[in-house]
Amino acid sequence: MSRFLIMPAVGSCISTSTLPKTTAGPIAISKPVGQGPLARNLSDDVKIIQEALNQVTLKGVAGGPIPFLVVDGLKGPKTQAAIINFQRSQVKSINADGLVEPGKQTILRLNEVVAPVSKFDLNAKLAASLPLVRQALAAAIANFTSIITSGPVASGPAATAADRLNRHFALNTLDASGQSEGRVVLFETFSEMALVVNRPDLFDMFGAIDAFDVDPTNAKIALTTAQGVFEPPCRTGSSIKTPFVKTAPGGLGGAR
């Protein structure tokens, strides 16, 4: 199961594994396959790559092995040559190093050729992630509320909130006025994010997933469209100098 971190209203970050395992697509390996010091060539991983490369040939796409590889889990010279041939034909962005690594360009391209993920599949994964996103946003808003209403204190929820804001947004690099303004701006931004996720009907959307575009190369990331439903909280020339907002205009920054 994939591991995610969420921040409760009080206390340290905790791990959760409530979401189903996600990969770049149906083709996934646990350790690198091929040549070089990083290669582990576990039998099950090698079989997955051998079968995937054979599927490239079956689909009539350049870079597949002829004749077919024997799917035996042994990384021999034929399997190695097939990996390099596929990289030379299909993975132009890297040198053909003969290594297939989890989540890297070669296996991503294999998925694009052999087992492309549809927008429907990605939206389904996004929908599965939304409860965790709602929980994280609620925790963040609770932290903002505690410190805005009480100000910095030595202990309790407000102290926890101050620690999170300093570590994640570097608010402690600002003067007292800038920190106060930054807390309010962030509170408003996270509240708007929560509104989109919790009440998509207010924006004439059928559901929350309609608010997002998905990244076809990474099913763990979803971004709002360029003309999103809320304004970026920090503009050029603002009195708040810390770069705590790193999204494009209208961007949510992604749920990972």
Q: What's the rounded Cα separation, in Å, for the pair 172 and 17? A: 32
Helix axes 77-90, 43-58, angle to 10 degrees: 50
Last residue in a domain, options 114, 135, 156: 114
CA distances from 233 to 95, 208, 228 (A): 41, 21, 13
Question: What does the angle CA 119 – CA 120 – CA 122 come to, to the nearest 5 degrees?
Answer: 65
- Looking at the domain assignment, is residue 11 inside a domain? no
Does 206 lie in the same domain as 187? Answer: yes
- Which residue range forms the structural domain that includes residue 62? 33-114
Last residue in a domain, options 63, 85, 114: 114
pTM over 0.95: no
Does 124 lie in the same domain as 105? Answer: no
- Looking at the domain assignment, is residue 200 inside a domain? yes
The total number of structural domains that make up the chain:
2
How many residues make up the chain in this entry? 256
- Looking at the domain assignment, is residue 3 inside a domain? no
- Looking at the domain assignment, is residue 252 inside a domain? no
Does 142 lie in the same domain as 75? Answer: no
User: What's the average pLDDT block by block, 10 residues per block, for the chain (256 residues)?
Assistant: 41 42 65 95 95 90 91 96 95 88 91 77 71 85 87 83 86 89 89 81 63 58 50 44 34 34
- Cis, peptide link before residue 8, omega less than 30° from 0: no
pLDDT of residue 167: 86
Question: What does the angle CA 235 – CA 238 – CA 240 come to, to the nearest 5 degrees?
Answer: 110
